[in-house]
Amino acid sequence: MKRRGILLVLAAASLWGISGSVAQFLFERKGFRPDWLVDVRLLAAGTGMLLIASLGGSRKRVLAIWKSPKDVRELLLFSLLGMLAVQYTYFTAIRHSNAATATVLQYLAPALICCYTAFRRRKRPSVREGVAVGLSFAGILLLATHGRIGTLAMTPAAFFWGLASAVALGFYSVQPVRLLRAWGSGVVVGWGMLIGGAALSVVRPPWSFRGQWDGEAALATGFIVLFGTLIAFFCYMESLKQLEPAEASILSCLEPLTSALLAVVWLGTLFGTFDWLGAACIVGTVVLLSWSRKPAVPVQTGESSITIQGKGGIIP
């Protein structure tokens, strides 16, 4: 059974990594805009997730979340500042850099939340947490400068959107803890996607399309929605029935590695020695922070997996 769980989480991480490179393909080769792709992804995947969550007599549960004003406020906050923000910043970071760099930068989220938690609790981080945070910032330094301090090896836009993606992922991971415990990830994430997509549609309607639409573009878009979102999400959640959340989170580090390898081999992205070293440092941060003796609550991001521990504390 544990082998099945390992295979499922590796499948989920691989699908997330591949979907990032597929998005890069759409931006570079087909002229797609990040906001349009995010909108279609959220609307389609959110609808599909809620339909699946409503099966088996759970339709009342899907709608019951709207009965409590407190739940509604928290759901709207999560949908706009969490779900929509993390999807938009991640895809925009890919547009300004590449899938490998954007995914690695997003993995700074655990270190950022570790710092936030220590500040809020007015408690010094443990030695393990301190080493992990140090590794994460060493990683971003290597990625951003290629070892030449004082120079930026990526565009300012790529650096900004990559860090914004990490901050958005941190908020996404911490804010909905109570909702997830009360309603489950399928209901909360499904509504979060649908609401986030509906809000973005006001600014960028899905019928306002720019780019080259052909068979390749249709297949790529379908892959991101179906395999990179719905199937990946349920593979990860199913894996938690056989694995501990920390084990699943460590194995999900395959995502940035898959994204990097595919971008290099398929799309010809340049990923040099310093990039690999930076990626290794940031992935090492996730591994370090994943070891914990306390029970944790898993949260799925749609791009990567994070596990929340305690009230607001996060261990990937």
Angle ∠(12,212,154) on CA atoms, nearest 5: 60
Q: Which residue has the higher pLDDT, 148 or 210?
A: 210
- Give the model confidence (pLDDT) of 43-71 as tens digits: 999 999 899 888 865 677 898 999 999 99
Report the number of distinct structural domains present in the chain. Answer: 1
Domain, as residue range, for 66? 2-314
- Give the model confidence (pLDDT) of 154-205 as tens digits: 888 998 999 999 999 888 888 888 898 888 888 999 999 999 999 999 988 8
Q: Which residue has the higher pLDDT, 112 or 215?
A: 215
- Give the model confidence (pLDDT) of 262-298 as tens digits: 888 888 887 778 888 888 887 887 777 766 544 444 4
The helix (H) or strand (E) run that includes residue 66 is none
Strand boundaries in the chain, DSSP class E? 297-300, 305-309, 313-314
* Distances from the Cα of 74 to the Cα of 77, 153, 173, 175, 182, angstroms: 5, 39, 13, 8, 12
Side chain identity at residue 177, one-letter code: V
* Distances from the Cα of 120 to the Cα of 123, 299, 316, angstroms: 8, 21, 19
